[in-house]
Structure 1
């Protein structure tokens, strides 16, 4: 599990973000903090893997949190996804320089946060799968860096489709890390099989999933779907 510390001074927003984290497969909430000082204490106490970190905090900046954690730990600090209303170029550039793995500008939809978390989980899985003693080639490096970026969904194509459902189906296929049938996607997302089939077909057309045929002993081949992102 990826232990995540939510750092946000607005208690209501903090609770919402924590609920998003708790609902995302592979993540658990390590705690919540509402200030720079409380964040630093919680990091030492809970040793989280990831921070959801606001920039504007009552006693300072979330960017200063990153700077201090890097200095205190010699670079071995939690990763961070910034979740903030700070839109200025200086804040964004500073976050990049300090090694933030994501930057979400408030207000944002739950699907946007889920997408960043899913992309981060993919990066962790890829890194953990590598042999520490082995050398990587360019393809390995490219895969790692692409895993850190969420794959943008195409525009919703037509009447009767919704962006949240499209994201839900796409995330289910990506999270599985194996091929799935439409029935399995329906069970994982709570939509009907026909709805899952319709969205899966769209993902295939847009190049975000691929169709694989599984042949049995009799009858038509079963359609299986696997993420390509």
Structure 2
């Protein structure tokens, strides 16, 4: 049985004046399936140069740069014919700066410091919307357009809190599956991690829906097929 075609990874340019922070953000992006970091910039000049050379699909843009304002870089990038999408990442949380980022066309705005789950949720939303746009005909209906903008909306506060609470368990469950020699069931994971089967199943389902794990159905002689999970290789 042939598998589904694998979508190419979306490319990302990470811009941050702090080399250590940039490295952390690179690690976050690389941990999200379907994304690949193609460059790092630590100044406005480097951001413009690398964006021109690399043509990334997405730029994570810091505002406070040693040689200029990151929002001015955003203005220049989004004025290009083949402009990348931009997510602003900054310690600035004043309304004037946020308003300007929105007016310029930033996709999202994350206030530093932020956790992996917050960025991963927005990256996944961008990927879903991007894939949806790829399937449009020459002209989109209003329903098509509404669906794309719905996909781009960040999770509700309640959903974000649930992601943050679930994050350590997700990591433990993922590690258990990744370290196994084959696919694992919810019972296998529960025993390996030391959690209930119900919690293991919830985490496995979340990871499968996030495109991190793949679901395999193992059919026995009778009864329902067993759900087993393996790491989805990029």
Aligned to 1:177: none
Q: Give the CA deviation at 1:90.
A: 1.1
Q: 2:124 aligns with which of 103, 118, 121?
A: 118
TM-score when scaled to structure 1?
0.72
Show the counterpart of 2:21.
Answer: 13
Q: Which residue of 1 aligns with 2:98?
A: 92
1:167: Cα distance to partner?
Answer: 6.6
What is the TM-score normalised by the length of structure 2? 0.70
Is the 1:21–1:28 Cα contact (8 Å) retained in structure 2? yes
Kindly state the Cα deviation for residue 97 of structure 1 after the two structures are TM-superposed.
Answer: 1.0
Selected match of 1:164 from 167, 170, 173: 167
- CA distance, structure 2, for counterparts of residue 69 and residue 166 of structure 1: 38
| Post-superposition offset of 1:69 | 2.1
Between the aligned partners of 1:7 and 1:68, the Cα distance in structure 2 is 15
Using the TM superposition, give the Cα deviation of residue 127 of structure 1 relative to its aligned residue in structure 2, in angstroms: 0.7
- Structure 1 stretches lacking a partner, 5+ long: 170-181, 203-214, 225-229
Residue 185 of structure 2 aligns to a residue whose secondary structure is helix
Structure 1 moving runs of 4+ over 4 Å: 165-169, 190-193, 198-202, 220-224
Secondary structure of the equivalent of 2:26? helix
Deviations 1:60-113 (A, max 9, x none): 111100112233x24x31110011001011111111111111100011111111
The size of the alignment, in residue pairs, is 196
Q: CA 1:191/1:146 → structure 2, altered by over 3 Å: closer, same or farther?
A: farther
When residues 198 and 36 of structure 1 are mapped into structure 2, their CA distance, relative to the original with a 3 A threshold, is closer
RMSD: 3.6
Q: Which residue number corresponds to residue 174 of structure 1?
A: none
Spell out, residue by residue over 1:8-49, the C-alpha distance to the aligned partner (whole angstroms, 9 max, x if none). 000000011011111111111110001111101111111111
Partner of 1:39: 47
Contact 1:183–1:196 (8 Å) recurs in 2: no
CA 1:143–1:222: 2 relative to 1, 3 Å: farther
Could you list the per-position Cα deviations for residues 133-160 of structure 1 after superposition, in whole angstroms to 9, with x for gaps in the alignment?
243132x22210011123231755xxxx
Query: What CA distance in whole angstroms lies between the structure 2 residues aligned with 1:191 and 1:20?
Result: 23
